[in-house]
Amino acid sequence: MTMGDTFYTLESASEGCYKEKMSKFLAFAVPVSGAAEAKEVVASYQKKYHDARHVCWAYMTGASRTDFQCNDNGEPSGTAGKPILGQINSFNLTNVVIVVVRYFGGIKLGTGGLIVAYREAAREAISAGRIIECHEQREITFTFPYMVMNDVMRAVKDPEIKILSQIFDNSCEMSVTIRADYADALSARLSDISGVSLLS
C-alpha cells in the first residue's frame, strides 16, 4: 500500500544515448528538489551543449506529481518534451528533470521518428539510474516552556522525526520534519503537552 506522501525518484543522475539515422540523442536524468532547481539543471545543459541543434527537456516535481513542464526547444510541437514527460510518467517518477540533447545527423526523422527517439533516449537515461522510494516531509515548528522539555523530547523521539533546530531558554523553540502522513498525529501529540504552542 502506498501512502499519500510516498513518491519515487532517482537516487542520482544517470545518462542514456539513442542513435537514429545519424542523429544522436544524449539523455540526462537528474533528481531535483523542485521546479527552480530543475530549471537550473536545464540551463546548465543548454550552456554545456550550446553547439547542439536542440536541447529538449521535461520535469515533474512534488509528491502529488502536479507540477510539471516540458519544452520542445525548436522541434515540431509535441515531438520532444511530451515524449520525455511521458517516460517520467511511465516510471511514475517525480522530483526529476530529463534533458535530451540532439545532434542532427543530416537526415530528417519526421514527427513519428522524433517522438520515438526522444522517448527512447529518456527511457534509456531512467533505466540506467536507480529508482528509490521517498516520503514527502512536513516541517513543524513549536514553542514550549523549559519545564516540559522532557515531555517534548519524548514526543519527538521517533526514527521518522528529524530535529532541524532547537533553542533552549526560558521559552524554548524547536523545528522538526516528519513524513507528511504522520505530521497531524505528531501535532496532536505535541498539543496535548501543557504550554506547547504550534507555530507551523
- How many helices (H) and strands (E) are present in the chain, helices listed first? 5, 11
Q: What is the pLDDT of residues 160-182, one digit of tens each?
A: 899 999 999 888 999 999 988 89
Amino acid at 119: R
pLDDT digit string (tens) for 25-61?
A: 999 999 998 899 999 999 999 999 999 989 999 999 9
How far lies 158's CA from each of 139, 154, 176, 177, 182, in Å? 15, 8, 11, 11, 11
Q: Which CATH architecture has domain 6-134?
A: 2-Layer Sandwich (3.30)
Q: What is the pLDDT of residues 101-132, one digit of tens each?
A: 999 888 888 999 999 999 999 999 999 999 99
pLDDT at 139: 93
pLDDT of residue 106: 85
Rg of the chain (C-alpha set): 23
pTM given for the model: 0.79
Beta partners for residue 134, in sequence order: 7
d(CA 14, CA 134): 18
- pLDDT classification of 63: cutoffs 50, 70, 90: confident
Position 1 pLDDT exceeds 80: no
Q: What is the edge-to-edge ordering of all strands in the sheet holding 14-20?
A: 14-20, 23-31, 96-103, 54-61, 67-71
55 alpha carbon, distance to own chain's centre: 20
Reduced 3-state DSSP string for 166-195: EECCCEEEEEEEEEHHHHHHHHHHHHCCCC
The per-residue pLDDT for 160 is 86
Taking 80 as the threshold, does the pLDDT of residue 143 lie above it?
A: yes
> What are the boundaries of each domain within the chain?
6-134, 136-198
Question: In this predicted structure, what is the pLDDT of residue 3?
Answer: 55
pLDDT of residue 200: 74
pLDDT of residue 66: 87
Q: What is the mean pLDDT of residues 87-101?
A: 96
Assess whether pLDDT exceeds 80 at residue 92.
Answer: yes
pLDDT surpasses 50 at 2: no
pLDDT number for residue 105: 84
Query: Is 136-198 assigned to CATH 3.30.70.240?
Result: yes
